[in-house]
Structure 1
Amino acid sequence: MPEGHLIHRYARDQHAALAGRVLAVSSPQGRLDVGPYDGRRLRAVEAYGKHLLYHVDDAPALHVHLGMRGLFLRHDGPAVPPRKGVRLRLARAGVAYDLIAPLRCEPLPDDAERALRASLGPDPLRADADGEDAVRRLAVARGAVGAALLDQAVWAGLGNAWRAELLFLAGLDPDARAVGPAPARRLWELAVRHLALGRDAGQVVSDPAAPDERWVYKRPTCRRCGAGVRAWPLGGRTAYACPVDQPAV
């Protein structure tokens, strides 16, 4: 599943290319009523966690969640014919974005948009994120810290790769419970820094000196010390940790 850094990258790039323009909006797949959006001005593209919100004049927000398989393709103009499976095309002269296989692509009335925002915790990549609230939410979360980091109501935007790498950088065992404010603040600061690097690079960056490498995520051995990486189910996904650098409490 695309994690928050890629969602913010999509939002940044599409906002730069499309915001302020009147767009041709279509659904080649035929699964979205584009009437409220076609031929209207796109004001902004916003990312919140793993969600994209398109704000269009005189229309409900258009909500996109990519899920596990969703992606965007960018074309140099609308003359490129879309694939039959394209759920949404956003186009103007010189650029077109095609949305393929999203989990959600739907109008979001004001009350539903408010409910979505209320359901999400702070997003490390948003300028309006409340760091103290983020620390509090994680510090009081019940259960394992590795499960809490995947809960979008605790922090928005993190997925399995970031969970593994951030917990490694913080030296925390994913099974640790009641981590407290100091480790929670350290994790938040790491998330703010590294997700921004990932957004700019278009990939998970947990080591700026070796941006294509991971410390423990899907590795047989820890890249730092060489110990065998532990892998086990946690929070519905496979957790990864180094038994040396992330000792069990």
Structure 2
Amino acid sequence: MPEGHTIHRLAAEHRRMFEGRVVRAESPQGRFAEGAALIDGRTLVGAGAAGKHLMLDFGDDRRLHVHLGIYGKYAFGPPPAPAPTGAVRLRLAGEEGYADLRGPNTCELLEPGEVKRLYDRLGPDPLRPDADPDRAWRAISRSRTSIAALLMDQSVVAGPGNIYRAEVLFRQGVRPDLPGRELSRERWEAIWADLVALMAEGVRTGRIDTVRPEHTPEAMGRPPRVDDHGGEVYVYRRAGLPCLVCGAPVRTEVLVGRNLFWCPGCQRD
């Protein structure tokens, strides 16, 4: 499932391609035909993200809400838009190009009350200027649940996924099984600041890179990492390999249905 920086990049691409312009909308697949008809011919006035949720504003109280889930993908292209191929749930097209959405978990129009309920159930998003990290801290500081599980709970912090979760805990030296209520306020503030910086860099580059300058391939004389998420990391998907910092084998186990990665040598607190 894409992490939050990807959704913010998608919002920016929608703004670049469609904002302030009349947009044609259709559902070649047919599953969103009624919704597409309601936004067809309207002007996109804004696009934003909250966690892993993309929200498009077509100038009324409703919002187009897209959640990609595991299989959802966007394809953007220049005009003229070709004939749709495959199961295109939604196509938006304008004078600057087109966007095809395939396989999302959710593609729907939300009324104002539904928009509010969606935002209310999400934790703060490190990429949003209105984010309040104290909201997340209040939930974390009274929880017996492990910090690794809490960072994957979108009602606690919205946006980070499995990669950012593993990497920020490594960078801050926090063991993943530490109960939230045993995490210090100072350590939480460091985790939050790191998420803000790492995810902003992810928006800028389209990659998840988490290694510090002294641990890059160039600095260490090691081969670049080859992985479909496209970035340099400390522990994610490095089970059994030596830690880039201390040399201990990186460990993995399943936590709440997802593979967790950590270094027993570096993550002791």
Whether TM exceeds 0.5 here: the answer is yes
* Structure-2 residue corresponding to 1:98: 100
* Structure-1 residue corresponding to 2:54: 52
CA contact (8 A) 1:136 1:181 kept: no
Question: Cα distance, 1:111 vs. partner?
Answer: 1.1
Question: Cα distance, 1:208 vs. partner?
Answer: 5.5
Report percent identity of matched pairs.
41
* Structure-2 residue corresponding to 1:207: 211
* Structure-1 residue corresponding to 2:4: 4
> Could you state the TM-score of these two structures normalised by the residue count of structure 1?
0.95
Q: Deviations over 1:127-149 (max 9, x none)?
A: 11113333333333331000000
CA contact (8 A) 1:134 1:188 kept: no
Q: Deviations over 1:58-79 (max 9, x none)?
A: 3621110000111110111243
User: 2: CA distance between counterparts of 1:94 and 1:42?
Assistant: 13
* Structure-2 residue corresponding to 1:23: 23
- Of the structure 1 ranges 129-138 and 15-24, higher mean CA displacement relative to structure 2 is found in 129-138
User: 1: CA distance between counterparts of 2:210 and 2:137?
Assistant: 20
CA contact (8 A) 1:195 1:205 kept: no
Q: Deviations over 1:211-247 (max 9, x none)?
A: 8311000003222222111101112211100010012
Give the gaps of 5 or more residues in structure 1: none
Q: 1:217 pairs with 236, 248, 251, which one? A: 236
Q: Give the counterpart letter for 1:215 in structure 2.
A: Y
CA contact (8 A) 1:206 1:215 kept: yes
Q: Give the counterpart letter for 1:184 in structure 2.
A: W
CA contact (8 A) 2:18 2:96 kept: no
Question: Cα distance, 1:57 vs. partner?
Answer: 2.2
Q: 1:121 pairs with 106, 123, 129, which one? A: 123
CA contact (8 A) 1:37 1:59 kept: no
Alignment pair present for 1:195 and 2:199: yes
Give the length in aligned residue pairs.
248
> Could you state the TM-score of these two structures normalised by the residue count of structure 2?
0.88
Alignment pair present for 1:175 and 2:177: yes
* Structure-1 residue corresponding to 2:44: 42
* Structure-1 residue corresponding to 2:251: 230
Q: 2:82 pairs with 80, 83, 89, which one? A: 80
Give the gaps of 5 or more residues in structure 2: 217-229
User: 2: CA distance between counterparts of 1:61 and 1:50?
Assistant: 15
User: 1: CA distance between counterparts of 2:256 and 2:143?
Assistant: 13
Deviation beyond 6 Å, 4+ runs, structure 1: none
User: 2: CA distance between counterparts of 1:122 and 1:191?
Assistant: 11
Taking only aligned residues, the RMSD between alpha carbons, in angstroms, comes to: 1.5
* Structure-2 residue corresponding to 1:132: 134
User: 1: CA distance between counterparts of 2:211 and 2:14?
Assistant: 27
* Structure-2 residue corresponding to 1:185: 189
> In structure 1, the residue corresponding to 2:45 is in which secondary structure?
strand
> In structure 1, the residue corresponding to 2:25 is in which secondary structure?
strand
> In structure 2, the residue corresponding to 1:64 is in which secondary structure?
strand
CA contact (8 A) 2:17 2:96 kept: no
* Structure-2 residue corresponding to 1:146: 148
